[in-house]
A and B are shown apart, each in its own frame.
Chain A
Amino acid sequence: MAVMIFVAFVAVVLSMSFYFARRAKSASGYYAAGGNIHWGVNGVAFAGDYLSAASFLGICGMIATVGYDGFLYSIGYLAGWIVALFVVAEPMKRLGKYTFTDALDSKFNSKGIQLAAAISTLIVSVFYLIPQMVGAGVLVTPLLGLPHAAGVIMVGAIVIGIVATAGMTSTTYVQFLKGGLLVIFALVITVALLVRGLSTEPDQGGSVPFHKYLTVETTEIDGVLQPPDAESRIVSVATTPAGTFVRMAHQKKVGWFRKEQAEDRIRLHETQWTSILPDGSKTVNGEPAVGQNQLRLVGNLEAIDGKTGDEARTGPVGPFEFLSKIGSDKTVVKTWKSTKFEDGGEKITAYYPTLSSGNKVMRPGQKFKIEGSPLEKFDFISLMLALFLGTASLPHILIRYYTVRTPAAARKSTIVAIAVIGLF
Chain B
Amino acid sequence: MLHEPAVQCEKDFAASYKQRLGVWMFLLYALVYAGFVAINLIDPAMMESRIFFGLNLAVVYGVALILFALILAVIYNLMCLRRERLAAESNEGGN
A175 located at the interface, meaning its Cβ lies under 8 Å from any Cβ of chain B in the complex: no
Find out whether the CB atom of A94 lies under 8 angstroms from the CB atom of B69: no
Distance A362 CA – B19 CA, assembled complex (angstroms):
38
Task: Give the Cβ gap from B84 to chain A, nearest Cβ, in Å.
Answer: 6
Task: Give the Cβ gap from A62 to chain B, nearest Cβ, in Å.
Answer: 14
Chain A residues with CB below 8 A from B5, complex form: 96-97
Distance A48 CA – B77 CA, assembled complex (angstroms):
22
Find out whether the CB atom of A364 lies under 8 angstroms from the CB atom of B44: yes
Chain B residues with CB below 8 A from A93, complex form: 9
B59 located at the interface, meaning its Cβ lies under 8 Å from any Cβ of chain A in the complex: yes
Find out whether the CB atom of B18 lies under 8 angstroms from the CB atom of A384: no
Question: Which residues 70-123 in A have Cβ within 8 Å of B in the complex?
Answer: 71-72, 74-75, 78-79, 81-83, 85-87, 90-91, 93-94, 96-99, 102, 105-106
The residue among A86, A87, A98, A360 with the most chain B CB atoms within 10 A of its own CB is: A86
Distance A249 CA – B64 CA, assembled complex (angstroms):
52
B86 located at the interface, meaning its Cβ lies under 8 Å from any Cβ of chain A in the complex: no
Interface-lining segment among A15-23, A186-194, A340-348, A399-407: A399-407
A28 located at the interface, meaning its Cβ lies under 8 Å from any Cβ of chain B in the complex: yes
Chain B residues with CB below 8 A from A363, complex form: 44, 47-48, 56-58
Question: Which residues 205-254 in A have Cβ within 8 Å of B in the complex?
Answer: none
The residue among B18, B36, B69 with the most chain A CB atoms within 10 A of its own CB is: B69
A68 located at the interface, meaning its Cβ lies under 8 Å from any Cβ of chain B in the complex: yes
A313 located at the interface, meaning its Cβ lies under 8 Å from any Cβ of chain B in the complex: no
The A-B contact count (CB < 8 A) is 155
Distance A57 CA – B18 CA, assembled complex (angstroms):
36
Distance A319 CA – B72 CA, assembled complex (angstroms):
24
Find out whether the CB atom of B6 lies under 8 angstroms from the CB atom of A98: yes
Distance A329 CA – B49 CA, assembled complex (angstroms):
11
Interface-lining segment among A5-13, A131-139, A151-159, A414-422: A414-422
Distance A79 CA – B29 CA, assembled complex (angstroms):
8
Task: Give the Cβ gap from B15 to chain A, nearest Cβ, in Å.
Answer: 7
In which size bucket is the chain B interface?
35 or more
Distance A106 CA – B70 CA, assembled complex (angstroms):
34
Find out whether the CB atom of B66 lies under 8 angstroms from the CB atom of A74: yes
Find out whether the CB atom of A82 lies under 8 angstroms from the CB atom of B80: no
Find out whether the CB atom of A106 lies under 8 angstroms from the CB atom of B3: yes
B5: nearest chain-A partner, CB-CB: A96
A298 located at the interface, meaning its Cβ lies under 8 Å from any Cβ of chain B in the complex: no
Distance A86 CA – B2 CA, assembled complex (angstroms):
28
Find out whether the CB atom of A388 lies under 8 angstroms from the CB atom of B33: yes
Find out whether the CB atom of B40 lies under 8 angstroms from the CB atom of A79: no
Find out whether the CB atom of B7 lies under 8 angstroms from the CB atom of A405: yes
Chain B residues with CB below 8 A from A269, complex form: none
Task: Give the Cβ gap from A304 to chain B, nearest Cβ, in Å.
Answer: 13
Q: Which of A359, A418, A419 contacts B56 (CB 8 A)?
A: A359
Q: Which of B6, B40, B74 contacts A402 (CB 8 A)?
A: B6
Find out whether the CB atom of A86 lies under 8 angstroms from the CB atom of B70: no
Find out whether the CB atom of A384 lies under 8 angstroms from the CB atom of B37: yes
- Taking A364-B58, A384-B36 as given, write out 4 further A-B residue pairs in contact, using a Cβ cutoff of 8 Å, ordered by the A residue number: A35-B6, A82-B29, A102-B3, A406-B10
Chain A residues engaging chain B, CB cutoff 8 angstroms:
27-28, 31-32, 34-35, 68, 71-72, 74-75, 78-79, 81-83, 85-87, 90-91, 93-94, 96-99, 102, 105-106, 320-321, 323-325, 327-329, 359-360, 362-365, 370-371, 377, 380-381, 384, 388, 402, 405-408, 411-412, 414-415, 418-419, 422
* Minimum-distance CB pairs A-B, first 9: A324-B54, A35-B7, A86-B22, A96-B5, A86-B26, A363-B47, A320-B53, A363-B58, A32-B6
Chain B residues engaging chain A, CB cutoff 8 angstroms:
1-3, 5-10, 12, 15, 18-19, 22-23, 25-26, 29-30, 33, 36-37, 40-41, 44, 47-48, 53-59, 62, 65-67, 69-70, 72-74, 76-77, 80-81, 84
Could you show 8 A-B contacts with beta carbons less than 8 Å apart? Answer: A75-B66, A79-B69, A87-B26, A90-B12, A90-B22, A380-B37, A418-B69, A418-B73
